[in-house]
Chains A and B, each alone.
Chain A
Amino acid sequence: MTLFHFFNCAILTFGPHAVYFSATPLSEYDTLGTSIKAALVYLGTALVKLVCLATFLKVSENDSFDPYQELLKALIGFIDVAGLYFALTQLTHRNISQNHKFQAVGLGWAFADSVLHRLAPLWVGARGLEFTWDFILQGLEANANLVLSISLAALGSLMWLRKNKPKTLIPIIYACAGIVATMPSITRSATHLLFIAYGQKLLEKRIGVAFSKGCRL
Chain B
Amino acid sequence: MQSNPKTMSSKNPRERQMLESIYSMIALVFILVTCVDLCDAATVVDVYRLIQYDISGVPFGSRFATLNHHAGSLHSAPGVDLSRTVLIIPVHELNITFIKEYISQRKPLGGLLFLLPQMFNFENREAATESKYQIREKELMKTVLVELERLLIHANIPYPVYFAFEDDDIDAVLADVKRSDVSGQPATATTGGYKLVVSAPEPKRIASPSITNIQGWLPGLKADGDPNQLPTIAIVASYDTFGTAPALSVGSDSNGSGVVALLELARLFSLLYSNPKTRGRYNLLFGLTSGGPYNYNGTHKWLRSFDQRLRESIDYAICLNSIGSWDNELRIHVSKPPENAFIKQIFEGFSTVAEELGFEVGLKHKKINISNPRVAWEHEQFSKLRVTAATLSELSTAPELLESTGGLSDSRHFINETAIVRSIKLVAESIARHIYGCQGKSIQIFADDTSLAVNAPYIRSWLDLLSKTPRVVPFLTKNDPFVMALKKELEDHTHEVNVHHEVLDGMFTLYDSTKAKLNIYQVASVTFDLLLLLVLGSYLIILFTFLVITTRGLDDLISLFRRPPSRKVKTA
Contacts and interface: CB of A to CB of B under 8 A. Distances in A.
Contacts of B523: 1, 129-131
A5 B540 contact: no
Interface in A1-50: 1, 4-5, 7-8, 11-12, 15-16, 19-20, 22-25, 28
Nearest to A129: B521
B271 interface: no
A154 B11 contact: yes
A91 interface: no
A188 to B, nearest CB: 11
A210 B36 CA distance: 18
B524 interface: yes
Contacts of A19: 540, 543-544, 547
Contacts of B537: 11
A83 B501 CA distance: 75
Interface stretch (B15-23, B310-318, B510-518): B15-23
B15 A15 contact: no
A140 interface: yes
Interface residues of B, number: 55
Interface string B519-542: 101111010010011001101100
A132 B536 contact: no
Nearest to A137: B32
Contacts of B548: 23-24
Interface string B4-41: 11011001000100110110011011101111110110
Contact of B529 (A4, A28, A169, A217): A4
B524 to A, nearest CB: 4
Contacts of A148: 22
A81 to B, nearest CB: 16
B543 A16 contact: yes
Contacts of A137: 29, 32-33, 36
Interface residues of A, number: 53
Contact of A4 (B30, B171, B526, B551): B526
A8 B532 contact: yes
B519 to A, nearest CB: 8
A151 interface: yes
A143 interface: yes
B197 interface: yes
B26 A144 contact: yes
B132 A217 contact: yes
Interface in B414-444: none
Nearest to A180: B19
A98 B278 CA distance: 110
Contact of B25 (A12, A20, A143, A162): A143
Given A28-B570, A131-B523, A140 B15 contact: no
A133 B35 contact: yes
A98 to B, nearest CB: 9
A187 interface: yes
B204 interface: no
A64 interface: no
Interface in A136-195: 136-137, 140-141, 143-144, 147-148, 150-151, 154-155, 158, 162, 164-166, 169, 176, 183, 187, 190-191, 194
A8 B15 contact: no
B93 interface: no
Contacts of A213: 168, 171
B189 A1 contact: yes
Contact of B536 (A12, A22, A187): A12
Contacts of A158: 11
A106 B40 CA distance: 35
A166 B28 contact: no
Contacts of A4: 526, 529, 533
Contacts of B562: none
A68 B33 CA distance: 26
Contacts of B166: 217
B11 to A, nearest CB: 7
A20 B547 contact: yes
B522 A130 contact: yes
Interface in B153-185: 166, 168, 171
Interface string B186-230: 000100100101000000000000000000000000000000000
B552 interface: yes
A155 B522 CA distance: 44
A160 B166 CA distance: 65
Interface string B220-263: 00000000000000000000000000000000000000000000
B15 A176 contact: yes
Contacts of A20: 543, 547
Interface of A: 1, 4-5, 7-8, 11-12, 15-16, 19-20, 22-25, 28, 99, 128-134, 136-137, 140-141, 143-144, 147-148, 150-151, 154-155, 158, 162, 164-166, 169, 176, 183, 187, 190-191, 194, 202, 210, 213-214, 217
- Which 4 pairs, one residue from A and one from B, show the smallest C-beta to C-beta distance? A23-B547, A131-B524, A144-B25, A130-B521
15 contacts: A5-B529, A19-B547, A20-B543, A23-B545, A23-B551, A24-B548, A99-B7, A129-B195, A133-B36, A141-B29, A147-B22, A164-B4, A166-B4, A202-B37, A214-B168
